[in-house]
Structure 1
Amino acid sequence: MTASDGSGSAALRVPAAAAVRAYLDHLLVERGTAENTLASYRRDLARYLEHLETAGVTDLAAVTERHVGDFLVGLRTGAGGRAPLATASATRAVVAVRGLHRFALAEGMVAVDVAREVHPPAPPRRLPKALDVATVGRLLESRGGEADDLAGVRDRALLELLYSTGARISEAVGLDVDDVDTTERSVRLAGKGGKQRIVPIGRPALAALEAYRVRARPGLAARGRGTPALFLNARGARLSRQSAWASLREAADRAGVDGAISPHTLRHSFATHLLDGGADLRVVQELLGHASVTTTQIYTQVTVDKLREVFATAHPRARM
């Protein structure tokens, strides 16, 4: 059985829900999409299916460009009693939908890619927040002072590693013990899409990791069933991203660091301080694991803004 695609040609009837399942399987098996990204796409496409069902559309070949455009409008305005999505979240949802229709065309499920001309909203340019060196120092030194504080020793090692390597929080909690090479002073991180990279690690971070592995990890590991994970929780299992985030907030409170602090704050600080110190942009790109240098270039704007601030306050004729 066939159905018109609105362009005068015909295409096989393929249930939209079945196409979504096939697309998600494609992302998982053939593209190696990261688990977190896949989970987000699954939620976005479930919302898209609800939108199509409300419009009376169940077959993918019956979807038109207007359906896709209306979906984007609904994301931003809050259709169906849902709260409006932020620009970044709406952009991700539209990217997921465009990927679905592009995949469906390539697989012969439809004759036309109706989402090709529907573009995601342009995200506002936001500069990353970076702490100054002294504040980072206070943050790092706020944990791990007591020898019998196993969580404190662990958190000091975690924070030192985040700042020393610029690792994402998911990369840090995903580390196994063998991923740290003390001889080469390096760490093997598994980034987005499972892509691995080797990054150097500073001596203070290595010292904090060694203190954790000797003084704290054995005690935490004894509470669990055995795991190669580097960072362990109170039950001896791998530390979660949520627990790591909570540890950072506790350290920030102890250090008296004001404002919203997240694991990405240390990543931003890592990149900004490297560029301030004269590091090449391409080197910073590799260290951060960015696929494109364009993503890394936002940190150069942070550095330029800092230069302007210093100039405005220090130069005798800056305000004349």
Structure 2
Amino acid sequence: MEDFEKIEKIGEGTYGVVYKGRNRLTGQIVAMKKIRLESDDEGVPSTAIREISLLKELKHENIVCLEDVLMEENRIYLIFEFLSMDLKKYMDSLPVDKHMESELVRSYLYQITSAILFCHRRRVLHRDLKPQNLLIDKSGLIKVADFGLGRSFGIPVRIYTHEIVTLWYRAPEVLLGSPRYSCPVDIWSIGCIFAEMATRKPLFQGDSEIDQLFRMFRILKTPTEDIWPGVTSLPDYKNTFPCWSTNQLTNQLKNLDANGIDLIQKMLIYDPVHRISAKDILEHPYFNGFQSGLVRN
């Protein structure tokens, strides 16, 4: 740890405090994530070990780089490259009446999806995508951060814990208690983020799991066996759910062109089996004519 100094606390992460720091040898500014260890006896928590093992494998220009892992007494520090801005802070910083440039939205969506495709091809789910853990720089680069809840998935798919994605970006199969889920949970989250970038407003702002579901149902209509085979058998599905029968999604997406709306509709398909894949997102007509270079924010 003597090679690094803390400059200031910049936030609370999933498992501990995050500091802005400096490498004393090189002068490089870094983000230092201090992982809480409950006691000396327990050693490094499996959550941290999982994050470390994942991030060391995930080398990609749109994934935050883990520079180093340091132990100090009963603490562990993860040293990441430093980016000062996240997508939520950026959107909040825009004037109330100003929307993100359409080419910037397209560029960010392309980069985020490229990172997630890279993960999915390596059998890794992110499971906690949200604007707060998408970090950006002045050049137009966006990087996926915080793989604290990421987890390699094998075949057969194990029964995963439900406590993952922040409520507003949480996929319906998770909210309805599906005992197994896969890559489509990340696609749903990206669809919600895409809509928020285009409109400046979170698409589904629920304050409880049931409120979150009902907000989805109001906009996308209440799912039935016709559009989502097996939905009525999911543990938390109730026959008493109110029945909203029209899809209002287009009304929520005034700023998007027809291709953008079509893409979001494919990302927000209830049935995970039919939800679009990361690979197919990148090949969608929404990106026709798009040069994958950076667009300055």
**More strand per residue:** 2
Q: Under a length normalisation based on structure 1, what TM-score does the superposition of the two structures give?
A: 0.21
**TM-score normalized with structure 2 length:** 0.22
Decide which structure has the larger Cα Rg and report it: 1
More helix by share: 1
